[in-house]
């Protein structure tokens, strides 16, 4: 169990140490060196302001935006959310300056795009320097699967059958592309435009691929961008999060109202057009980058480290075999499919609290009161609600004309190990041609669960 959580965390100040499948053309260390030393902003992977603040051992100042400040005042409690941080309060860093607390560019984005929220300031005083180990949600698949297996009997036989059928249908629809991705990871290159189009088709069957696709493109943009905006953030020790948001909103209609990466699936021509519109100099290299990087990350996150990426096939494989061969992928698929069971609103806390308890225990043992999203140290950081050796103070805050925050009303509230209520986004499904079974379009189903705002406001 501990090994799985260790595997899901990344410390960019240390050499890569994960076990990975055999036959991959490039190792994790190869990619780390390339990203860090061969991209304009790669130096920020190791030497960013957030990591330096963590390892300093000084108080951390974090921004959280909420729609429900009155509920926090009334209850005296702050609840945490699930998502990319598993069970932490979603925040962004604040830099202490003479003129106030300057928001990280991610925080500035949140305040600008969510004007109806209240900005809160959290001061977290750690007991020691904080290990800069971030959790990478792309590597949580095996944990999702293990927790599901542990509590599978909470579901009825019909519900379990429904999940099995849904996962098998997705695997069969995407099997050809999944095999292509593994072959590309093992040095059998597919032309990049063809690869991107096949990836786009496969997202409807395996929504996890949409998350992988988006994170690869976000990495590409943040590390390669050379705009004046990106350079100005780099001078502050920050990767430019605005690039990722603009990409998502341009690629998917309505993403501003419902941020759901299961809908992120631009085809090749559209992808090139999107990047051309954002930063023309980056458009020529984007498709080949996605082909190489996504193939490598898919093999690492989908397969058990004991497997040989050059020998595994998804075509015709049964679910029992794939649970052993590709627990990361099966876990991610079950995790995303299970949320659409009619009873999941009642069962949600059973499955998600189990993961939260494990990760809280891991963070406490590692001395981590403020975990962060470790896909890259891009400013998504949270508060561990049950860390026993740090002091946390809470305020509402006011924004001045220069963009700095100033603590205002002190809030008497404590963190509790309680997960905020959860909801399911509308889902996308591939529709089938009734005569030949080919994929002809996408259909959106209304959410089965109803959104209920929590005292925490924004989730990841």
- Closest by CA to 415, choosing from 31, 57, 185, 78, is 78
Average pLDDT value over all residues in the chain: 91
In this structure, the number of other CB atoms found within 10 A of the CB of residue 136 comes to: 19
For the segment 81-95, what is each residue's pLDDT rounded down to a tens digit?
888 999 999 999 999
Q: In sequence order, what DSSP letters do the residues of 8-51 get, joined into one string?
A: TEEETTS-------BT-SS-HHHHHHHHHHSSTTTHHHHS-HHH
Give CA–CA dist 162/339, Å, rounded: 12
Long-range pairs, 310-314, Cβ under 8 A, ≥24: 310/22, 310/23, 310/182, 310/183, 310/186, 311/23, 312/21, 312/182, 313/175, 313/179, 313/182, 314/171, 314/174, 314/175, 314/178, 314/179
Residue 237, phi-psi category: left (phi > 0), alpha (psi -120 to 50), beta (remainder)? left
Beta strand 77-80 with 414-419 is: parallel
The greatest distance separating any two alpha carbons of the chain, rounded to the nearest whole angstrom, comes to: 69
Separation in Å, CA 55 to CA 98, 121, 168: 22, 20, 45
Contact in structure between 71 and 368 (CB atoms under 8 Å)? no
* Dihedral of the alpha carbons of 303, 304, 310, 312, in degrees to the nearest 10: -70
Q: Rounded to whole angstroms, how far apart are CA atoms 282 and 267?
A: 17
pTM for this one? 0.92
Q: What are φ and ψ of residue 417, in 5° steps?
A: -80, 60
- Using pLDDT thresholds of 50, 70 and 90, give the confidence band for residue 175: very high
d(CA 92, CA 121): 10
| pLDDT: which is higher, 202 or 440 | 202
- Give the confidence band of 423 by pLDDT, cuts at 50, 70, 90: low
Phi, psi of 397 (to 5 degrees): -145, 160
pLDDT per position as a tens digit, 263-289? 999 999 999 999 999 999 999 999 999
Cβ-contact 31, 293 below 8 angstroms: yes
pLDDT at 70 over 70: yes
Residue burial 219-237, b: 16+ Cβ < 10 Å; e: rest? bbbbbbbeeeebeebbeeb
Which CA distances in Å does 364 have to 337, 403, 419, 428? 31, 34, 18, 38
In which residue are the tokens 């090139």 written? 272
DSSP SS3 for 273 = helix
Q: How confident is the model at residue 442 (pLDDT cuts 50, 70, 90)?
A: very low
Spatial contact of 90 and 460, defined as CB atoms under 8 Å apart: yes
pLDDT in tens, 219-278: 999 999 999 999 999 999 999 999 999 999 999 998 877 789 999 999 999 999 999 999
Which of helix, strand or coil describes residue 217?
A: helix
Q: For residues 76 and 340, what is the distance between their CA atoms, to the nearest angstrom?
A: 32
Using DSSP's 3-state secondary structure scheme, residue 101 falls into strand
Q: What is the mean pLDDT of residues 54-73?
A: 96
Residue 132 Cα distances to 57, 164, 317, angstroms? 11, 38, 39
* Contact criterion met (CB below 8 Å) for 397 and 404: no
Helix (H, G, I), strand (E, B) or coil at 233: helix
* Percent of the chain's residues with pLDDT above 90: 84
Residue 406 neighbours by CB distance under 10 Å: 13
- Asked whether residue 68 carries a pLDDT value surpassing 80, the answer given is yes
């Amino acid at each position: 169990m501990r090994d799985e959580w260790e595997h899901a965390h990344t410390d960019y100040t240390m050499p890569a140490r994960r076990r990975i499948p055999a036959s991959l053309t490039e190792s994790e260390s190869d990619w780390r060196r390339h990203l860090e030393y061969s991209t304009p902003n790669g130096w920020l992977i190791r030497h960013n302001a957030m990591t330096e603040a963590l390892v300093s051992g000084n108080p951390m100042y974090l921004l959280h935006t909420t729609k429900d400040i009155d509920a926090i005042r009334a209850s005296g409690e702050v609840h945490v959310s699930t998502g990319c941080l598993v069970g932490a309060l979603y925040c962004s860093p604040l830099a202490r300056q003479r003129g106030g607390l300057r928001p990280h560019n991610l925080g500035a984005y949140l305040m600008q795009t969510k004007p109806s929220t209240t900005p809160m300031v959290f001061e977290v005083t750690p007991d020691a320097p904080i290990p800069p180990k971030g959790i990478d949600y792309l590597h949580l698949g095996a944990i999702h699967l293990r927790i599901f297996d542990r509590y599978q009997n909470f579901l009825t036989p019909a519900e379990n059958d429904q999940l099995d059928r849904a996962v098998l249908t997705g695997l069969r629809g995407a099997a050809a592309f999944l095999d292509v991705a593994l072959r590309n990871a093992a040095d059998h290159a597919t032309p990049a435009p063809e690869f991107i189009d096949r990836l786009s088709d496969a997202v409807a069957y395996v929504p996890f691929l949409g998350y992988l696709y988006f994170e690869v493109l976000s990495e590409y943009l943040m590390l390669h961008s050379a705009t004046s905006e990106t350079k100005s953030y780099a001078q502050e020790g920050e990767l430019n999060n605005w690039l990722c948001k603009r990409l998502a909103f341009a690629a998917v209609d309505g993403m501003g109202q419902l941020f759901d990466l299961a809908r992120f699936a631009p085809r090749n021509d559209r992808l090139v057009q999107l990047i051309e519109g954002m930063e023309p100099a980056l458009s020529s290299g984007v498709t080949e980058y996605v082909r190489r990087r996504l193939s490598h990350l898919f093999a690492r996150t989908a397969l058990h480290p004991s497997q040989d990426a050059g020998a595994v096939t998804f075509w015709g494989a049964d679910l029992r075999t794939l649970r052993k061969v590709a627990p990361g992928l099966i876990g991610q698929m079950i995790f995303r499919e299970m949320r659409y069971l009619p009873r999941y609103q009642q069962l949600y806390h059973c499955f998600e609290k189990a993961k939260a308890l494990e990760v809280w225990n891991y963070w406490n043992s590692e001395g981590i009161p403020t975990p962060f999203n470790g896909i890259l140290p891009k400013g998504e950081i949270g508060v561990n609600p049950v860390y026993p050796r740090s002091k946390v103070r809470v305020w509402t805050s006011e924004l001045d004309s220069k963009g700095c925050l100033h603590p205002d009303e002190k809030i008497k509230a404590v963190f509790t190990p309680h997960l905020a209520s959860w909801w399911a986004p509308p889902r996308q499904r591939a529709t089938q041609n009734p005569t030949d079974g080919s994929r002809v379009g996408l259909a959106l189903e209304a959410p089965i669960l109803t959104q209920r705002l929590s005292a925490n406001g924004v989730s990841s």
